[in-house]
Structure 1
Amino acid sequence: MTPWEAAAIFAAGIGAGGINAVVGSGSLITFPTMVAVGLPPVVANVSNNIGLVPGSLTGALGYRAELKGQRDRLVRLGTGSLLGSLIGGVLLLSLPERTFTAIVSVLIGLACVLVVLQPRLSGWLNARREHARPHGGPWLWLGVFGAGIYGGYFGAAQGVLLIGLLGIFLDEELQRVNAAKNVLSLLVNGIAAALFITADALDLFPMAEIDWRAVGLVAVGATIGGYLGARVGRKLPAPVLRGFIVCVGVAAIVKLVYG
């Protein structure tokens, strides 16, 4: 890896950490960069996931004020994220990389629609509930579980999916929804990273070898970006944040469809 290639991965890590803290889809910066400098796609995917974990942590910590009162909810939803991430990680290590790409753009497009319609749909759902569900009910858990599978496999735009789901099923303002999203994304990335590291240590899946140079560069960059992204994201008005989410989602679809 040349110094210029290392600098490119580091810069991509900063950008990805900042975007992940605000909405998600940071992998659409780091993953293509790793592939561009010569890493095999699966190796880039696995190394990218591990490298982004520190950035997910700083992003979650940056939203700690908005996390107050959400502990019980996150414990319940977190089980769905953890289980889903394990399944997604095993699928990544076991199946051809092309398996999920056919449906990824559809999932991201659906999430963007959910984000745009979130205020109207939330009002419609709340008006028809006899009792408010602070944890979102079983359908939200299943949705978070599905997002965990997706995140464990690839992870790009996982945050867009989570914000769409949480925004509809929870009666919360968008910034608190975004804070919850950061914690759930951290859980998904963390458990998938632990799985990949274990698989690499035991040499179970040679095609998923970890490039620790890339991991280190992304990790340092994402830590910086996650901190900066959280500081900026918490100050954005809800309509601006929602618009940014949709723009990132559309960019994700374009990147995945046209490469």
Structure 2
Amino acid sequence: MLEFTALLAVGVAAGALNAVGGGGTFVTLPALVAAGLPAVTANAASTVALLPGAVASAWAYRKDVVQVGTTSRTALTATSLLGSAVGAGLLLALPSESFRVAVPWLLAFATVVLAFGRSISRLLSTAIGRPVDLSARSVLIGQFVLAAYGGYFGGAVGILTLAFWSVGLGLDPAKGNPTRIVQLAAIYGTAAVLFLVASDVPTHPVPVLAVLLGAIGGGFAGARLARRMPARVVRGIVLTTAVTMTVLYFLRG
């Protein structure tokens, strides 16, 4: 019962983090490993457990979703679903150790881009003599790669997504946060179905259920809170989460 309560609290924190700025996987993954799940299983179980929380956040944000550049929302979501399926398939078929080694460096890159993305975008615009504005095709290619990463590992996929949109389209992270949540739900959704069918996640129902229930409440409450925050506060939380996650991942080695 003590373990269930602790994992429930972990789920609340992870759901709220994902809703406000991203980083829920960093909270759930070590907690599930500590609960006795193998690392790869814990990674898959984290995705399954965080899916309902992401859906709850997406519902709370439904009126604030914006279009990403000239790319239609339908095309963007379909690409996220497809890329996630590819990434989840790779996780089930291949060892994940080599990819996990690259995660801190990906996070460091994403943090730098988030911190200086709009400035980088302005510098690029000045250098090429026009605003940086990726085509719909380029956005979809980038989204596919990010979704594959999200299906394979999931850690900080939301932060990387905001970084990509910030540099490629000049999209403000606070304004793009609701759209990020919708795409996160799509990525988690496809991967979760594959993990439930083809992995050993269903053999660990108690820890998964505990995190899942907590993430629903945390995801909905976090989204409601974020909608009332000033844009600069949301940007600060996103950047603080990114920096914290990067440092912690490097410390984990």
Q: Normalization by structure 1: what TM-score?
A: 0.87
Preserved contact between residue 122 and residue 168 of structure 1 (Cα < 8 Å): yes
Preserved contact between residue 152 and residue 188 of structure 1 (Cα < 8 Å): yes
Q: Classify 1:131/1:225 alpha carbon distance in 2 versus 1 (closer, same or farther; 3 Å).
A: same
Q: Classify 1:250/1:188 alpha carbon distance in 2 versus 1 (closer, same or farther; 3 Å).
A: same
Distance 2:228 2:53 in 1: 19
Moved more, 242-251 or 11-20: 242-251
Q: 1:217 maps to what in 2?
A: 210
Q: 2:22 maps to what in 1?
A: 24
Q: 1:191 maps to what in 2?
A: 190
Preserved contact between residue 15 and residue 26 of structure 1 (Cα < 8 Å): yes
User: In structure 2, which of residues 216, 225, 246 is the aligned counterpart of residue 253 of structure 1?
Assistant: 246
Matched length: 250
Structure 2: unaligned runs, 5 residues or longer: none
Displacement, 1:222? Answer: 0.5
Distance 1:110 1:125 in 2: 17
Distance 2:202 2:102 in 1: 25
Q: C-alpha offsets along residues 15-65 of structure 1, whole Å, 9 cap, x if unaligned? A: 000000112110111111111122211221111111110000111111122
Q: C-alpha offsets along residues 112-170 of structure 1, whole Å, 9 cap, x if unaligned? A: 1111122223445567687996x853332222111111111111111110111122333
For residue 191 of structure 1, what is the amino acid of its counterpart? T
Q: 1:6 maps to what in 2?
A: 4
For residue 62 of structure 1, what is the amino acid of its counterpart? A
Identity %: 33
Q: Please show how residues 84-233 of structure 1 align to structure 2 within 5 Å.
A: 84-124=83-123, 136-200=135-199, 210-233=203-226
Structure 1: unaligned runs, 5 residues or longer: 201-205
Q: 1:238 maps to what in 2?
A: 231
Q: 1:203 maps to what in 2?
A: none
Q: Classify 1:88/1:24 alpha carbon distance in 2 versus 1 (closer, same or farther; 3 Å).
A: same
Displacement, 1:237? Answer: 2.6
Distance 2:103 2:213 in 1: 28
Q: Classify 1:257/1:172 alpha carbon distance in 2 versus 1 (closer, same or farther; 3 Å).
A: closer
Preserved contact between residue 175 and residue 234 of structure 1 (Cα < 8 Å): no
For residue 91 of structure 2, what is the amino acid of its counterpart? L
Q: 1:51 maps to what in 2?
A: 49
Distance 2:132 2:60 in 1: 28
Preserved contact between residue 66 and residue 178 of structure 2 (Cα < 8 Å): no
Displacement, 1:72? Answer: 6.1
For residue 41 of structure 2, what is the amino acid of its counterpart? V
For residue 225 of structure 1, what is the amino acid of its counterpart? G
Distance 2:247 2:141 in 1: 27
Preserved contact between residue 13 and residue 222 of structure 1 (Cα < 8 Å): yes
Q: Classify 1:250/1:210 alpha carbon distance in 2 versus 1 (closer, same or farther; 3 Å).
A: farther
Distance 1:21 1:245 in 2: 10
Distance 1:164 1:69 in 2: 16
Moved more, 166-175 or 44-53: 166-175
